[in-house]
Structure 1
Amino acid sequence: MSANKIYLSSPHMSDEGYEMQYIKEAFSSNWIAPLGNNVNEFENDLAQYVNIGHAAALLSGTAAIHLALKAAGVGTGDIVFCPSLTFSATANPIIYQNAIPVFIDSDHDTWNMSPDALEQAFKKYTPKAVIVVHLYGLSASMDEISEICKKYNVPLIEDAAESLGTIYKGKHTGTFGDYGVFSFNGNKIITTSGGGMLVSNNEEMVKKVRFWATQSRDHARHYQHSELGYNYRMSNVLAGIGRGQLKVLAQRVEKKKHIFEFYKRELSQLEGVNMMPVNDWDKPNYWLSCITVTGEVRPLDIMVALEDENIESRPVWKPMHMQPYFEKYDFVGNGVSEMIYENGICLPSDTKITDEDLNRVVKIIRKLWRK
């Protein structure tokens, strides 16, 4: 355990100190909270980066999904289609709205929502909304999924928490649906320590989201509230970090791609090892480099071997329909998400990782195949 720790994906501030410039601006103006110029400019910068009309800076990606569901009219007893292979933050807001999740399987080609399973689910249910996820920075099959949602006239929400910077056929993920959601949690490709963003071309609904996120305070001299509100707005200080981080996003994507290509070159020849799928029409941000293993060496063997050498790794997300809290809800599919979970592992993908570190990771993994 004497070697330096290698992280899965940790915060990485800019070498140029962009973040501190904006934080100092917040301090010097005394706009620490709740809002301020950094919030406005972070919203503008992010919207411009992904080429969408409007954005609302919030406390988390989870809050953004919650308010996207609310904006889509989801309420008590409504059904919402959601990928099973995702983090629980995608599904939890459905419960916040007293709605009912129905979990949709993945496909092998993208690891994301299967259009075939989605179409099958529409034949069984009439949902109020569909949430699609771009897992690990890999874009879902958005042409097919968007077309299905349009056919049934159902709002589409994109959970792009893991895919800021990912391009699907020339267009940013998070901008195909009625609402898109990004996360700036500490492990994401850029971070504000905690935070999220809701984006949309629907200006009125983005204004409504900002209203709900600031406790639904009516325009009145006194404190008046005609609707249920939430304390979901991002602070001016955190937004300053985000403004600085956006300036280095392209560098982070390039480093993440380098990490993925390194693993692909060094591990793909091992029997039973397959990299996560990258399609010709997809330019991922490669947030985490993931592999699946079939054969005698199992994901846990790799994780334990890395852990013994002070190196972080992680299982692929456990599907929601297998989770104790969510297992009572319906699942539509044939077990692809379970297969990915059982055979998948997320390898160290920290943007501060060196090639020496990567060689160290690869050497440990290769050793398991020589036993």
Structure 2
Amino acid sequence: MRSGRSQTLAWKIPLFDTDFGAEEEEALIAVIRRGWVSAGPETQEFEREFSEFLGGPEVVFLSSGTASIHLALASVGIGPGDEVIAPAFTYIATCSPVLWLGARLRLADSASLKNPNISPETVEGLVNERTKAIIFLHYAGFSEGIAEMARFCEERGIALIEDAAHTHGSVSGGRKPGTFGKVGCFSFFANKNMTSGEGGALVTFDKQLAERARRMASHGRTAAAWDRFRDSALKTYDITEMGYNYKATDMQAALARVQLRKLPEANRKRVELVRLYRELLSDIPGLVIPFDDYESSANYIFPIVLPEEVGRLSVMESLADAGIQTSVHYPAVHTFTYYRKLFPELRLPVAEELASRELSLPLYPHMGEDKVRFVAEKLSEILRTQGRN
């Protein structure tokens, strides 16, 4: 946090830190003074600006990234009897909406330790006549394999849903992630490259799908509250299908608009910090740094895969003793208690190895090179010590 109030007092170097300042405060005050704080004109302006940023798709601003995945699946007609393939190495929100809709979840392995994304090769054996959608996570902000996955889905008539929660501002083959598939799903949670505190967005070039998603986000109504407020001819509304309450607010949109303006420079700083991290950690035996094309990535997190013989918990505790916060992104979905009931025999060796060896190091735009050097130095020292024991 940049305004003098730290949310991370316990850490010398936190895993992430928000970048809120006078611009965000002024934007929120303007919405409060306008008097309309739920979804309204500010939301519409953010949707327009985010559409321009992504290259012109329809944008529906929502209450969370999870809501965007749920509505994406619902909008393409996923329901009981259908199957949806998703990565096992992801946050649980990628997968749970599949089950909410009564469909069968099929979990795919990651391509490799170097490429934690799923690939056509890891999903091909799961595809059958009931497969209606594949969810592709751009892990850590990297889009390796997305073009191949888009072709794979198009050839088979499968809806490609992009979980773009990590990838604000990435570029892949001249295109912005979130625009390769049928629907793209973004998150604006507090630790994302741009944030509205909570929030998400559904993006698609299919106008009818976007209109349906917009209705479903507001209880299935044909006219939202702001539409009826500004248009006196809209006296009432109809409910045309089952819907949810997934609307975001103009307060969130005000934050998101400022954060979107800051995003290109913030991502540029992330690239520089990641470049330094990679340089400083490149000679550690057995350590894997996923992906290579970091210059076109959003670099949402900086994940490393620890050497096989190293105990991750011990490394995390030693870094914590030095005031460095770390995390794990992610446990494999099928290893959670609830999901073990659904997948009692499932073994996905790459995802499981990533889940046991991955460690996320601190990364945020105003972190500074001195902190990167400190983290890299401490990590190298800890790994050398563990290697001797």
TM range (shorter): over 0.9
Q: Whose relative contact order is higher, 1 or 2, with alpha carbons under 8 Å and at least 6 apart?
A: 1
The one of 72, 82, 90 equivalent to 1:86 is: 90
How many residue pairs match? The answer is: 366
The one of 254, 263, 274 equivalent to 2:288 is: 274
1:323 corresponds to? 336
SS of structure 2 residue aligned to 1:146:
helix
Answer yes or no: is 1:265 the counterpart of 2:272. no
Distance in 2 between residues matched to 1:295 and 1:338, nearest whole Å = 13
Answer yes or no: is 1:194 the counterpart of 2:201. no
- Cα pair 2:277 2:373 within 8 Å, conserved: no
The one of 49, 54, 64 equivalent to 2:68 is: 64
1:11 corresponds to? 18
Moved more, 361-370 or 57-66: 361-370
1:142 corresponds to? 146
Distance in 1 between residues matched to 2:312 and 2:30, nearest whole Å = 46
Distance in 2 between residues matched to 1:342 and 1:349, nearest whole Å = 21
Unaligned runs of 5+ in 1: none
Post-superposition CA distance 1:322-357 (Å, at most 9, x none): 222223249988511112122211101122312222
2:119 corresponds to? 114
Runs of 4+ off more than 3 Å: 1-4, 218-224, 329-334
> Kindly tell me: are residues 2 and 172 of structure 1, through their superposed partners in 2, closer, same or farther at Cα, counting changes over 3 Å?
closer
Post-superposition CA distance 1:221-267 (Å, at most 9, x none): 45653422211111001100000000110111112112211211111
Letter of the 2:49 counterpart: D
- Cα pair 1:52 1:200 within 8 Å, conserved: no
Distance in 2 between residues matched to 1:334 and 1:216, nearest whole Å = 39
Answer yes or no: is 1:252 the counterpart of 2:266. yes
Q: Structure 1-normalised TM-score?
A: 0.93
- Once the two structures are aligned, what percentage of the paired residues are identical? 28
Within 5 Å, give how 1:196-275 maps onto structure 2.
Answer: 196-218=200-222, 221-222=235-236, 224-275=238-289
Post-superposition CA distance 1:101-127 (Å, at most 9, x none): 0001111242101210212212x5631
Distance in 2 between residues matched to 1:157 and 1:117, nearest whole Å = 16
Unaligned runs of 5+ in 2: 1-7, 224-233
The one of 345, 356, 366 equivalent to 2:359 is: 345
Moved more, 253-262 or 161-170: 253-262
Distance in 2 between residues matched to 1:245 and 1:120, nearest whole Å = 41
Q: Structure 2-normalised TM-score?
A: 0.88
> Kindly tell me: are residues 323 and 3 of structure 1, through their superposed partners in 2, closer, same or farther at Cα, counting changes over 3 Å?
closer
Distance in 1 between residues matched to 2:30 and 2:383, nearest whole Å = 53
> Kindly tell me: are residues 36 and 355 of structure 1, through their superposed partners in 2, closer, same or farther at Cα, counting changes over 3 Å?
same
Cα RMSD over matched residues?
A: 2.2
How far the C-alpha of 1:43 sits from its partner, in A, is 0.5
Distance in 1 between residues matched to 2:57 and 2:144, nearest whole Å = 22
